[in-house]
Amino acid sequence: MVAVAEMVAVEETRPSVKWFLYMVQCLDGSFYTGVAQDVSRRVRQHNGELAGGSRYTRTRQPVTLVFSLECPSQTVALVLECAVKKLRAESKRKLAGHFASQFRG
């Protein structure tokens, strides 16, 4: 498996585009994780305000943004997304709680 630091070094040669890993909490308490360049727009899509939301969140609206994390590249964001999606629900709750406490200061 390629280390994240090696991916960052390769991606630094590409044009600068911001990519974010984000997590939303759905009405039923479940979590959805994704990557996007414009997180606020993506949340609006998940909530049905704009076209293009995911099938998963369509029946679990409204969703609330739990956190977003700027990543150095799309590749890094996608690797992190896969790692978060593999977590069990309890671990996702802890991760969400950690970021919530960071936002509160």
pTM, 2 dp? 0.82
Convert the pLDDT of each residue in 30-56 to its tens digit.
999 999 999 999 999 999 999 998 999
- Domain range list for the chain: 17-104
Residue 11 predicted with pLDDT over 90: no
Burial group, residue 78, by CB count within 10 angstroms (0-12, 13-18, 19+): middle
Of 74, 84, 57, 100, the closest CA to residue 20 belongs to: 74
CA dist list (Å): 22 to 14, 43, 85: 22, 9, 11
Tell me, which fold does domain 17-104 have in CATH?
A: GIY-YIG endonuclease (3.40.1440)
Range with the poorest average pLDDT among 12-26, 42-56, 70-84: 12-26
